[in-house]
Amino acid sequence: MPSAFEKASDAEHGALSTVVVLDAKPHSTQPELVLLPYLLPPPPKKAPDADAPAKPKQKPKPLGSRWTRFNLFFNTYRKFFVFVVTLNFIGIGFAAAGRFTYAIDHSGALVLGNLLVAVMMRNELFLRFLYLVANTCLAKWPPMFIRLATTSALQHVGGIHSGCALSGLGWLIYKVVEIIIHGKINHRAVIVTGVITNVAVIISVISAFPWIRNQHHNVFERYHRFIGWLGLLSTWIFVILGNYYDPMTDTWTPDAHHLIGIQEFWFALGMTIFILLPWGFTRRVKVDVEIPSPKVAVLRFERGMQQGLLGRVGRSSILEYHAFGLISEGRDAKHHYMVCGVQGDFTKGLVSDPPKTLWTRELKFAGVSNTSALYRRGIRVCTGTGIGAALSTCLQSPDWFLIWIGSDQVKTFGPTISGMIERGIEPERRVLWDSKKMGGRPDTMRLIEDVYRRFGAEVVFITSNYQGNQEMMVGCRERGIPAFGTLWDF
């Protein structure tokens, strides 16, 4: 019998189409596909008239209003970035004009202070602490705007990371230029290490630009990491030499007591600790690889996980890591899983040459789904391999609804993923749309809006490709539905 939630009257919705849902039947070992009435079907395509003149192709109209698109573009990430960069570059301008005494005397502290914050905003332990505080102190009771602002801030802390990294580079250039201008009273070793540090930081920053990071992931990983480490080493040399050299007497005066008393030393120490700390959790672990189809590899690891986490894995301990969402039925479960769509060299290798072990960091980092504890009810929407980032939330909380749009999910993703859905998510809390069986995608926004109203949700979390994410985010914004989508660092 369909639940009250599944019943949609003809008077309310008009002509009804169908949606594929996994139906949990007693004594069944494999989820069975059934059809439930749910959604208005797309209009049938008319056959082209052979005699009709061909119409010129028109550019697709941009999604949503200009105001909606602007708000989605100028999101919290960019607000953080603009605020941090503007504040710092105003300071650099005042320092260059001789009107910022602290910056003139402590430009090194401003360099390292910015770089320290940039590193902290990408550190797994620090971010897990922020998420823990938010989920513990702000779960469900504050006004909705506070909870939404908290989720947005946590999701977009990358804007602070990027802003502080660029600002630190700006202050470093300012400091080295000042040293070169006053080169007659500065030792050559100080100038050389300053230039080396500048070059290393510039390369590290450029390698993290979105185009390089997304199109050449291995280049990003190696240059950002190894040149960044070189920059850290040269920073230490720069700080120590700059502290030990006295330009007034043109002599070296090593004084460890004085060194540990300056701000630059403690900022450099903090930055070093936050960079090295995650590597202390790096382990080589056993992995079982299930290949349900040529498109997907499902990795199984020991121990359960809380929901909303992502993990990094790689075949090498230091060369490169790839991030995937973690699927687990709970902290007490025996295993957790990663769903890896076959795209680049690494994921293709998982299918062609399945590994027995992989390197990973046992300290996982939190994703936006980790803030699901802030809301009374919500919807987790995903397409394709996005199920890897979405499924745990719905498995571990009865207050979250799963919408999964894909192609032949049972065959493509295999019995492990389908079995967890069957066991852990009741039919009235899930909608699975098989685009292959249904002949195309659903009216996604109609589906989301309908579930949002009927389920009594407060928020929607979306994991999809760029186009799908944009369509759903625009649709939710124009319907007044709070939503958080996939984030590509800009």
Domain ranges of the chain: 74-121+157-280, 282-366
Residues 56-66: tens digit of each pLDDT: 555 556 677 88
Q: Is the pLDDT of residue 72 over 70?
A: yes
Segment 83-98 mean pLDDT: 94
d(CA 162, CA 80): 9
d(CA 395, CA 397): 6
Reported confidence tier of residue 297, pLDDT bands at 50, 70, 90 = very high
Q: Which residues contact 11 (CB under 8 A, 6 or more apart)?
A: none
What pLDDT is stored for residue 296 in this prediction?
Answer: 92
CB neighbours (10 Å) of residue 437? 13
Residues 324-379: tens digit of each pLDDT: 999 999 999 999 999 998 887 888 889 888 999 999 998 899 999 999 999 999 99
Superfamily of domain 282-366: Translation factors (2.40.30.10)
More confident residue, 85 or 207: 85
What pLDDT is stored for residue 204 in this prediction?
Answer: 79
Positive or negative CA dihedral for 195, 196, 197, 201?
positive
Reported confidence tier of residue 9, pLDDT bands at 50, 70, 90 = very low
Reported confidence tier of residue 11, pLDDT bands at 50, 70, 90 = very low
What pLDDT is stored for residue 461 in this prediction?
Answer: 97
Q: How far is CA 378 from CA 170, 374, 400, 445, in A?
A: 42, 10, 5, 15
Residue 309: burial class (beta carbons within 10 Å; 0-12, 13-18, 19+): buried
d(CA 186, CA 235): 17
d(CA 270, CA 380): 37
Reported as type and span, the H/E element at residue 69 is helix 66-73
Nearest to 32 by CA among 486, 421, 471: 421
Place of tokens 């749009």: 405
Token duo for residue 298: 């499902």
Helical spans, DSSP H, in 277-358: 345-352
What pLDDT is stored for residue 143 in this prediction?
Answer: 96
Segment 19-32 mean pLDDT: 40
Is 340:295 a contact under the CB 8 Å cutoff?
A: no
pTM: 0.82
What pLDDT is stored for residue 394 in this prediction?
Answer: 96
Segment 448-453 mean pLDDT: 94
More confident residue, 414 or 32: 414
d(CA 131, CA 110): 27
Segment 387-401 mean pLDDT: 95
d(CA 322, CA 136): 29
Place of tokens 């936006």: 368
Q: How far is CA 288 from CA 83, 298, 355, 384, in A?
A: 46, 8, 8, 21
d(CA 486, CA 490): 12
For the chain, give the mean pLDDT: 83
Residues 159-194: tens digit of each pLDDT: 999 999 899 889 988 988 888 887 676 777 877 888
> Could you tell me which residues are beta bridge partners of residue 250?
none
Is 365:127 a contact under the CB 8 Å cutoff?
A: yes
Reported confidence tier of residue 35, pLDDT bands at 50, 70, 90 = very low
